[in-house]
């Protein structure tokens, strides 16, 4: 029997993950990651053999989520702790603000997985003698030719492998993803059979530290606190015509159509963001076509290749596109076999061989 540290969010997936791990004979320790600054009503079920985490902050998903996670842990008979990771999470918010200020589109969920869920959680796992760290992500881990491979989840509609590309390859053998082999409907059915109150709890769909549609407000406020000046600028077409004004590039992302507040007779999309000139460049959908991109800060979950034919996914919910990837140190160039639309600097380009995730990096440019 192995000791497993399980990240519990208070949702149905991580709750059922706890039961699946327990059914496999593991000793499960549930942890909830608190990222906020307000006091939480969640009480910890403590075990004197384990270190006590600082519990003066509430979780990013609300105190109610922390309470849901605690109740599930109690119902399943596993110890539960709340970890104060507010300082670490502050780095993620800083990254989020900085990326938008630079005219890039951030993906804080990937960064959270890299820095916190499979960063700090492994440190805590080591401190409590846990051999594994588990989460409720819809992805799979399987042995392929003698090494652990990360694969897409069995439920294609819920696959979350894309957001896990940044996990260090050396940690794959210490990860467990128990729900990845199931369909979402099976997970909800198991939760209902167990009598868990979270069985029909809606999935979290938004960034956990900012309300839906309020990211630009957060970015603008943080930049003003840092002494930033006027962020307004022009909306221009790809042929250089000035057709409108905007209050900050953080309100836009590549491929965006709604919210441009310009009437040109035909649909226009955000094609490029120039933060230095404070310009939002718009054009027809054809102007979004991309045949090539460059990514940096590459992370490979296979022996680092020099060149490979694979499928590349450029957004969490986008379709993977066949491409040739050429690798040089921590950068790689993707040449698509057909036009790819909506490539946004700041997002991740993730490489797949069928269901297997090979690696990925952060998009820095495209053409």
From first to last of the 367 residues of the chain, give the pLDDT tens digit: 899 999 999 999 999 999 999 999 999 999 998 875 333 333 444 443 444 343 333 334 567 888 999 999 999 999 999 988 888 888 899 999 999 999 999 999 899 888 888 888 999 999 999 999 999 999 999 999 889 999 999 999 999 999 999 999 999 999 999 999 999 999 999 999 999 999 999 987 667 777 777 888 889 889 888 887 788 999 999 999 999 999 999 999 999 999 999 999 999 999 999 999 999 999 999 999 999 999 999 999 999 999 999 999 999 999 999 999 999 999 999 999 999 999 999 999 999 999 999 999 999 999 9
Q: DSSP of 27-61, one letter per residue?
A: EEEEEEEE-SSS---PPPB--TTSPPPP--S--TT
CB within 8 Å of 237: residues ≥ 6 apart: 243, 264, 268, 281, 282, 283
- Half-sphere exposure (Cβ direction) of 125: Cα atoms closer than 13 Å: 26
Task: Please report, for residues 168, 292, 312, the alpha-carbon distance to residue 333 in angstroms, rounded to integers and kept in the order given.
Answer: 21, 7, 11
- What are the residue ranges spanned by the domains of the chain? 3-194, 232-283, 289-366
CATH numeric code, 3-194: 3.40.50.620
The predicted model scores a pTM of 0.90
CATH numeric code, 232-283: 2.30.30.280
Among the listed residues 61, 112, 290, 340, the single catalytic one is: 112
| C-alpha closest to that of 350 among 289, 300, 292, 306 | 300
Q: How far apart are CA 77 and CA 72, in angstroms?
A: 8
Task: Please report, for residues 68, 71, 73, 102, 251, the alpha-carbon distance to residue 196 in angstroms, rounded to integers and kept in the order given.
Answer: 9, 9, 10, 44, 40
For the chain, the residue count is 367
Among the listed residues 42, 60, 61, 208, the single catalytic one is: 208
Active site residue 310: no
Active site residue 290: no
Cα angle 38, 44, 46; round to 5: 145
Domain 289-366: which CATH number of 2.40.30.10, 1.10.620.20, 1.10.287.610, 3.40.50.300 = 2.40.30.10
Three-state SS sequence of 69-103? HHHHHHHHCCCEEEEECHHHHHHHHHHHHHHHHCC
């Amino acid at each position: 029997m192995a000791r497993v540290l399980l990240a519990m969010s208070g949702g149905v997936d991580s709750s059922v993950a706890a039961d699946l791990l327990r059914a496999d004979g593991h000793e499960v320790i549930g942890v909830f990651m608190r990222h906020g600054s307000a006091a939480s009503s969640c009480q910890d079920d403590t075990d004197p053999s384990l270190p006590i985490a600082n519990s003066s902050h509430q979780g990013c998903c609300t105190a109610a989520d922390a309470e849901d996670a605690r109740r599930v842990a109690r119902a399943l008979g596993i110890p539960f702790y709340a970890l104060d990771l507010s300082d670490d999470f502050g780095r993620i918010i800083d990254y989020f603000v900085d990326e938008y200020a630079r005219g890039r589109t951030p993906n804080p969920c990937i960064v959270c997985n890299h820095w916190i869920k499979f960063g700090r959680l492994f440190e805590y796992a080591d401190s409590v003698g846990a051999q594994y760290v588990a989460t409720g992500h819809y992805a799979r881990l399987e042995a392929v030719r003698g090494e652990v491979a990360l694969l897409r989840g069995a439920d294609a509609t819920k696959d979350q492998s894309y957001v896990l590309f940044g996990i260090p390859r050396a940690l794959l053998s210490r990860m467990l993803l128990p729900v990845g082999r199931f369909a979402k409907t099976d997970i909800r059915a198991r939760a209902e059979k167990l009598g868990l109150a979270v069985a029909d709890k809606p999935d979290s769909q938004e960034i956990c530290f900012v309300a839906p549609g309020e990211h630009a407000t957060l970015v603008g406020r943080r930049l003003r606190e840092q002494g930033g000046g006027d962020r307004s600028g022009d909306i221009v077409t790809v042929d250089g015509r000035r057709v409108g004004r905007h209050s900050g590039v953080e309100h836009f992302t590549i491929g965006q159509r709604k919210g441009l507040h310009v009437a040109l007779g035909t649909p226009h999309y955000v094609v490029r963001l120039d933060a230095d000139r404070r310009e939002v460049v718009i054009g027809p959908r054809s102007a979004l076509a991309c045949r090539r991109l460059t990514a940096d800060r590459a992370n490979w979950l296979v022996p680092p290749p020099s060149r490979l034919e694979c499928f590349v996914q450029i957004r969490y919910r986008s379709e993977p596109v066949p491409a040739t990837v050429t690798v040089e140190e921590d950068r790689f160039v993707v040449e698509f076999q057909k036009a790819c639309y909506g490539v946004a600097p700041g997002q991740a380009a993730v490489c797949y061989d069928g269901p297997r995730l090979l690696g990925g990096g952060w998009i820095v440019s495209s053409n």
